[in-house]
Amino acid sequence: MSGLSGREREGFRNIMRLMTKLDLLSLSDTVTNKLIVVENVTEAKETILSFTKNAEELLRRKKIHRDLIFKYLADEGVIMPPSSEKRQLISRTLEYWSSGKVTVKVEADKSPRCDTDDTTEKASDSTNKSGAGFDPLLLGQQFCQWFFQLLNSQNPTLDQQPQDWGAQHFWPDVKLRLLARAGSEQMKDFLGAELVSLRLLALSREERLLFSPNLEPQGLKALASPHGLVIVAVAGTIHRDTACLGIFEQIFGLIRSPLENNTWKIKFLNLKIRGQDALGGTEVVAPALTYNSSELQLLCS
């Protein structure tokens, strides 16, 4: 029987959303000494929680990387020095959970971040109902969880198995507008699924950037046009190793593909990056969107 409290279980659920499928399956094997065979990510999570004796024991497991705990705490608004060691992060996590302030993310758990197909299909399922039941914000949350987990998995510093990144997630005529402000301002446009896919991949794989989206209300907006286009805008922080380099704002234009199980594919992206020197001391822990609904509405027309 699990020795975890309800708060600890919710905290671990949020941490496990940041893990790859392979790491979750491996962790399940470790926790159960391979006595329990699991079929999928959902079973792995429940098995891990059920067979864990105490929270500290699970946090110390090798598959619960230091960077996972650091990112989890940052997502929860618990600020730790980037140089913090794993033992310090574990101690702060246990203290946070004992305070009873754990964020419960029920809706997100319906769409595991670790499995690309599951996420896109379940996001589609949530929008295949009547128009009245369509929630663009829910789609936006699920999409951002999937997209940034997928992109971050390409970063070699995380020592994860890269997930299935590629041109298949974009419409053939997709357009990326990349605006970077770090000292000087640079703007470049990239056209076509292959070129856009490779440019974004380079941000993670070659430039080793990690994107941490703020999925709270001030950091995420989504709206839908009558013509099937969904606009998702999200703000977040950018990291390399344990250093926070600055903030980003990204706008996605999404359209469902009826020929591919109604999964959502990216029609256009606007990515704005601002380095620390361009922020002028602005708070970057949980950045808010600067785009308002009227500006996003213009993109739907």
Mean pLDDT for back-to-back runs of 10 residues, the chain (301 residues): 79 91 91 87 91 92 90 81 85 87 45 38 41 74 90 88 90 94 82 95 93 90 88 92 88 86 87 74 67 72 58
137 and 225 fall within a common domain: yes
- Are 135 and 45 part of one and the same domain? no
Residues 39 and 128 in one domain: no
Is residue 53 in some structural domain?
yes
Do 132 and 69 lie in one domain? The reply is: no
Shared-domain flag, residues 94 and 120: no
Model pTM score: 0.56
DSSP state of 278: G
* Statement to judge: residues 87 and 164 lie in one domain: no
Query: Is 37 in the same domain as 138?
Result: no
Among 98, 132, 148, residue at a domain's last position: 98
In the chain the first and final C-alpha atoms are separated, in Å, by: 55
How many domains is the chain built from? Answer: 2
CATH number of the domain that residue 197 is part of: 3.10.450.50
Q: How much is the pLDDT for 26?
A: 92
Q: Are residues 89 and 129 in the same domain?
A: no
Domain range holding 232? 112-300
Is 50 within a domain?
Answer: yes
Single out the residue in 44, 76, 98 at which a domain terminates: 98
Residue 106 belongs to some domain of the structure: no
| Same-domain status, 66 and 176 | no
Please tell me the distance from the alpha carbon of residue 234 to that of residue 240, in angstroms, as a whole number: 19
3 state DSSP class of 265:
strand
Give yes or no: residues 139 and 19 share one domain: no
DSSP code per residue over 49-87: HHH-S-HHHHHTSTTS-HHHHHHHHHHTT----TT--HH
